[in-house]
């Protein structure tokens, strides 16, 4: 049995397709996505470091301590007492002053060990050559005022005193 087709009711407007209504919404969403992508690309180009994870603060402190130890050993190798004094903490221990006074006899110096942190101080192994002898030591570094400085030096089995 077939039924005849009925015309639409007279008081109802003709139906629009769903596609016609989605047009403006798609444009707004697409524009917003394009804006966000543009901001991301611009920021990545201007400030590329924001894409990289932040460094662990302990690793950053260790890297700073190692850099200072390297500067100290370079100053020893160059026999640069002024640089050594500048790298020392304002209230450095006596062995630092003794080591600085003996810098003129150093023929070679280098960092030999990793940075180890304990009790707020960093220790770095190093070796200097002076008078035909190789001397292993540990530089004791301290964080003072947000920067590393040279607090003390330890030589296993030797007590350092300023020369007379």
Q: Where are the domains of the chain?
A: 18-50, 57-154
Q: Collapsing DSSP states into helix, strand and coil, what is residue 125? A: strand
Q: Which residues pair with 125 in a beta bridge?
A: 138
Q: Domain 57-154 has what CATH class?
A: alpha beta
Confirm if 110 and 137 have CB atoms less than 8 A apart: no
Place of tokens 């020392």: 88
Q: Which residues of the chain have pLDDT under 70?
A: 1-3, 7-10, 12-22, 48-62, 158-164
Whole-number pLDDT of residue 100:
92
β-strands 147-154, 106-118 pairing: unpaired
Token pair 């919404």 in the structure block, residue: 25
Give the three-class secondary structure for 81: helix
Q: What is the pLDDT of residue 50?
A: 61
Q: Can you give the pLDDT at residue 21?
A: 57
């Amino acid at each position: 049995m077939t039924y005849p087709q009925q015309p639409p009711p007279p008081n109802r407007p003709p139906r629009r397709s769903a596609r016609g209504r989605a047009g403006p919404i798609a444009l707004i969403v697409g524009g917003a996505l394009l804006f966000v992508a543009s901001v991301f690309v611009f920021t990545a180009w201007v400030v590329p470091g924001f894409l990289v994870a932040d460094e662990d603060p302990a690793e950053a402190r260790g890297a700073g301590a190692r850099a200072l130890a390297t500067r100290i050993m370079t100053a020893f190798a160059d026999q640069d007492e002024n640089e050594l004094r500048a790298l020392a903490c304002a209230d450095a221990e006596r062995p630092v002053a003794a080591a600085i006074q003996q810098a003129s006899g150093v023929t070679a110096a280098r960092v030999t060990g990793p940075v180890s942190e304990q009790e707020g101080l960093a220790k770095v192994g190093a070796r200097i050559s002076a008078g035909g002898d190789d001397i292993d030591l540990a530089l004791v570094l301290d964080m003072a005022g947000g920067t590393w400085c040279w607090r003390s030096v330890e030589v296993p089995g030797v007590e350092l005193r300023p020369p007379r």
